[in-house]
Each structure stands twice: as structure tokens, then as C-alpha cells.
């Protein structure tokens, strides 16, 4: 099925931008901490945990440790989403779409 006018070119450009966006998002790396730095996590742009560091001082209190790991992971997800949103805004700005479309 052939698309009318330059729709085919626009669709191809949109697909290329989507692929570039996915690559840029995958390269994001964030670090988040909780408990004053007693728990630290690193996450990539696809929201995969890359590492978890735990201060040995909190290892004895399991409930507190669980809460700190959860808090650090949630903060890392927020950071990834913020960075991804910024990258998407920069890339989509080149399309000339109306504000608020994405």
C-alpha cells in the first residue's frame, strides 16, 4: 500500500526517530540512594537494576533495609523517567509537532 504525498517519507522519519529515541533511552544511567546513602542503586534507561550497594550497618535490620532498597529503586525509576522525558522532548522538537502532542 502506497501512502499519498510525502506521508511515506514522514512515516520513515518517525520510525527512525523512534529507533534513535529507544537507543538514547537505553543509554541512560542513573543512581539513587536512600537512608542517607546507606543504600544505593544504579539503573539503566530500560529500568533494569544494574547494581545495589548496601552499607553493612543496615544489614541487621531487615525491615529497614527492605524499605531503603524499595525507596532507592523507586527514586531511580523517577530519575529514568525524567531523563527519558527530556530526551524525548529534544528529539520530538525536531518534528515540528504542535505543543502538548507528546
Q: What CATH number is associated with residue 37? A: 3.30.1310.10
Do 50 and 29 touch, CB atoms closer than 8 A?
yes
Does some domain include residue 92?
Answer: no
Answer yes or no: is 49 within a domain: yes
Contacts of 17-23 with C-beta under 8 Å, sequence gap 24+, read 17/91, 17/92, 17/94, 17/95, 20/91, 21/87, 21/88, 21/91
Q: Which domain holds residue 64?
A: 25-86
| Residue 59 domain flag | yes
User: DSSP secondary-structure letter at 53?
Assistant: E
Q: Return the half-sphere exposure (C-beta side, CA atoms, 13 A cut-off) of residue 86.
A: 8
Domain presence at residue 91: no
Residue with more model confidence, 10 or 102: 10
Instruction: Give the closest residue to 31 by CA, choosing from 84, 90, 94, 77.
Output: 77
- Give tens-digit pLDDT for 20-32: 888 999 999 999 9
Q: Is residue 102 included in any domain, yes or no?
A: no
In a domain, 43, yes or no: yes
Decide if pLDDT at 94 tops 60: no
Q: What's the total number of domains in the chain?
A: 1
Considering the chain, what is the average pLDDT of its residues?
86
Amino acid at each position: 500500500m502506497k501512502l499519498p504525498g510525502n506521508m511515506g517519507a514522514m512515516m520513515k522519519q518517525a520510525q527512525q526517530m523512534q529507533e534513535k529515541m529507544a537507543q538514547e533511552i537505553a543509554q541512560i544511567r542513573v543512581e539513587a540512594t536512600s537512608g542517607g546513602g546507606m543504600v544505593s542503586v544504579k539503573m539503566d534507561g530500560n529500568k533494569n537494576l544494574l547494581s545495589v550497594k548496601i552499607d553493612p550497618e543496615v544489614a541487621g535490620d531487615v525491615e529497614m533495609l527492605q524499605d531503603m532498597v524499595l525507596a532507592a529503586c523507586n527514586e531511580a525509576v523517577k530519575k529514568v523517567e525524567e531523563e527519558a522525558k527530556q530526551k524525548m522532548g529534544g528529539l520530538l522538537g525536531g518534528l515540528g509537532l504542535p505543543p502538548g502532542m507528546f
